[in-house]
Amino acid sequence: MAGSIVIPCPHCDTLNRLPAERRGEGGKCGQCGKPLFAGHPLPLSRARFDRHAGAADLPLLVDFWAEWCGPCRAMAPVFEAAAAQLEPRLRLGKVDTEAEPELAARFQVRAIPTLILFTGGQELARHSGALPGQELYRWVQRHLSG
């Protein structure tokens, strides 16, 4: 047995323990009963960010964006599609830099969109600028398998 992993619920943020070998089966939250994988990026506030990035065994890919940003709007459907394809291997989240300037400052986001891949609460990789779908998948694959 490979052990278990901790996954925050995308609905109520409760931490759930799931056998690692059963991650692909999804699972349900022990608190709210909803699926642990929603297939959509999570909107992340400061409190939710810390819960999903720091308390989870699941890698987290975060899109730091703003509504007024043209490249951010162009990348939004690519990021949405990626969430459906990349879960349950990792979770995708979005941080609106206008609503959460403290998070943008904390991670020294200087340009948007900026993608940051976190594992165990630590930054693993960063990319500034929009990425088309296949490039996004390759970028994630390169950093998670290396």
107 in a structural domain = yes
128 in a structural domain = yes
27 in a structural domain = no
72 is an active site residue: yes
11 in a structural domain = no
17 in a structural domain = no
**CB atoms closer than 10 angstroms to residue 88:** 18
Domain that holds residue 102: 38-145
Sequence-distant (≥ 6) Cβ neighbours of residue 70 within 8 angstroms: none
- How many structural domains are present in the chain? 1
Read off the amino acid at residue 9. C
29 is an active site residue: no
Q: Strand, coil or helix: what is 122?
A: strand
User: pLDDT > 70: what percent of the chain?
Assistant: 98
Q: Dump strand ranges (E) for 2-102.
A: 4-8, 15-19, 42-43, 60-65, 91-96
Per residue in 25-78, pLDDT tens? 778 999 999 999 989 999 999 989 988 998 778 899 999 999 999 999 999 999
Of 9, 12, 29, 69, the active-site residue reads 69
Per residue in 88-119, pLDDT tens? 889 999 999 999 999 999 999 999 999 999 99
Where residue 108 sits, what CATH number does that domain have? 3.40.30.10
Q: State the pTM of this model.
A: 0.92
DSSP H/E element including 86:
helix 70-86
Of 9, 29, 32, 72, the active-site residue reads 72
Predicted local confidence at residue 93, as pLDDT: 97
In angstroms, the Cα distances linking 111 to 23, 63, 65, 89 are 34, 11, 9, 27
The answer to whether 93 and 83 are in contact (CB under 8 A) is no
8 in a structural domain = no
How far is it, in rounded angstroms, from Cα 10 to Cα 109?
24
Per residue in 41-51, pLDDT tens? 999 999 899 88
32 in a structural domain = no
65 in a structural domain = yes
Question: Exposure pattern of 15-43 as b/e (b: 16+ CB <10 Å)?
Answer: bbebeeeebeeebebeeeeeebbbbebbe
